[in-house]
A and B are shown apart, each in its own frame.
Chain A
Amino acid sequence: HYFIQSNLRMSYTVRLCQLTSHSSALSSIRALSAPSEYKVPGTEKFFKKQAVYGRPLSPHLTIYKPQLTSMLSISHRGSGIGYSILLYGGTLLTLLPGGFSHYVALAEQIAPGNGVITAFKAIVVLPLVYHTCNGFRHLAWDTGKGFKIAEVYKSGWFTVGVSVVLSLLMALLL
Chain B
Amino acid sequence: HYFIQSNLRMFAGLSKVGPQCLKLNVISKPMIQAKFLSGSIVTHWKAERYVSILTAGAIFGAVVAPSLAVDHSLAILIPLHTHWGLEQVFTDYIHVKPVQKVVSISLWLITAATVLALLYFNQHDIGITQAVKDVWNIKRVQTEDLG
Contact = CB atoms under 8 A, between A and B. Distances in A.
Contacts, number: 142
B17 interface: yes
A36 B13 contact: no
Contacts of A101: 126, 134
Interface residues of B, number: 54
Interface residues of B, dominant DSSP: helix
Contact of A34 (B12, B37, B49, B89): B12
Given A11-B7, A90-B131, 15 more contacts: A3-B7, A4-B7, A8-B7, A13-B22, A14-B14, A25-B24, A36-B9, A39-B28, A91-B117, A91-B121, A100-B126, A101-B126, A101-B134, A109-B141, A142-B49
B4 A132 contact: no
What is the predominant secondary structure among interface residues of chain A facing chain B? helix
Interface in A9-43: 10-11, 13-15, 17-18, 21, 24-26, 28-29, 32-39
A108 B79 contact: no
A62 to B, nearest CB: 18
Interface of A: 3-4, 7-8, 10-11, 13-15, 17-18, 21, 24-26, 28-29, 32-39, 77, 80-81, 83-84, 87-88, 90-91, 94-95, 99-101, 104, 107-109, 111-114, 117, 121, 132, 135-136, 139, 142, 174
Interface in B97-144: 110, 113-114, 117-118, 121, 125-126, 131, 134-136, 138-141
Interface of B: 1, 3-14, 16-17, 21-28, 37, 39, 42, 49, 52-53, 56, 59, 78-79, 82, 85-86, 89, 95, 110, 113-114, 117-118, 121, 125-126, 131, 134-136, 138-141
A37 B11 CA distance: 13
Contact of B125 (A26, A99, A107): A99
Contacts of B139: 108, 111, 114, 117
A172 B25 CA distance: 54
A10 B25 CA distance: 13
A79 to B, nearest CB: 10
29 contacts: A3-B7, A4-B7, A10-B10, A14-B14, A15-B24, A17-B23, A18-B22, A18-B23, A25-B23, A26-B37, A29-B25, A33-B27, A34-B25, A35-B28, A36-B27, A39-B28, A84-B85, A87-B82, A88-B114, A91-B121, A94-B125, A100-B121, A100-B125, A104-B135, A108-B141, A111-B140, A112-B140, A135-B56, A142-B49
